[in-house]
Amino acid sequence: MKRFMLLPFVVIVAALSAFGQDKQLSQCQQRMDDPDLFPLETCSVILTYLSPMDEVGPISQDGSFIVDSPNGDGTVNLTTYTLPPKLRSEVAMKSLKSTLDDVEFMAEKKPDSIFPQMLAQGRDYWVKLRDVYCYYHPQGRYTDLFSKGQTCNEVMHIPDEKTVENELSGVLVFKVNFDTFRDTDNCNGEQKCLQRLVDINKPLIDALKKGSKGANASQAPHN
């Protein structure tokens, strides 16, 4: 007669936990708005916010992400968190640089449009954002607006927390505004087209302006 060895309960739990983390990691990698913008350690950080049964929702360029937590009654709680400022500043730098490249193209293509003004504003904004990035990345490397590699100078102080939050979350607002103006330009003055753009973008822009103040962003990750 064959004997079957029962695995210790601790081993089974550990195996299930590892399987759950692998699933969550895969979800995280698939839910990123643009994976090229996010540092490699992003998903490792996000997993620290999750309980074993949680699922990862959309991960936005503004550094916010949604966690789906199932309840015992079959319902789901949706909680929005934000990544730590160090990671968010890196995402914001890459995102703004990418958007400014597109703005510069449109500014050169249509010099009498709003895009040259947006380009000047975006470049001023980028300098402020660079200081935030360098504060969190002493001696860190970044790509400047001329696509050249640079090393951060020491930044001793940054603005207050609210200002920093506006600068980090404002990158996505800038991108949405640019996309809207570009699409508006393609409407060629057609009123129905313009109104459709307003209707499509208003909820997103309103949500971005509110930021993540009421989104449980300050909650600590799970241990």
> Considering the domain boundaries, does residue 39 fall inside one?
yes
Strand blocks (E) in 6-118:
55-59, 64-70, 76-82
Confidence of residue 9 (pLDDT cuts 50, 70, 90): very low
Residues 23 and 90 in one domain: no
Residue 1 lies in a domain: no
Question: Do 132 and 62 share a structural domain?
Answer: no
User: Mean of the pLDDT values across residues 91-101?
Assistant: 94
What mean pLDDT value characterizes the chain? 80
Split into its structural domains, the chain has a count of 2
With respect to residue 91, please indicate whether it lies within any of the assigned structural domains: yes
The rounded distance, in Å, linking the Cα atoms of 113 and 122 is 15
- Owning domain of residue 17: 9-82
Q: Are residues 119 and 205 in the same domain?
A: yes
Last residue of a domain, one of 82, 98, 132: 82
Boundary of a domain, candidates 59, 82, 105: 82
Reduced to 3 states (helix: H, G, I; strand: E, B; else coil), residue 42 is helix
Task: Name the nearest CA neighbour of 38 among 21, 67, 58.
Answer: 58
- Count CA atoms within 13 Å of residue 14 on its CB side: 5
Same domain for 15 and 97?
Answer: no
Of the pLDDT bands very low, low, confident and very high (cuts 50, 70, 90), residue 11 is very low
Domain boundary among 35, 55, 82: 82
Q: What is the pLDDT of residues 128-143, one digit of tens each?
A: 999 999 999 999 999 9
* SS3 state of residue 50: coil
Pair 138, 154: CB distance under 8 Å: yes
**Are 15 and 119 members of one domain?**
no
Q: Give pLDDT, residue 22.
A: 84
Specify whether 22 is located in the same domain as 70. Answer: yes
Answer whether 89's CB lies under 8 Å from 137's CB: yes
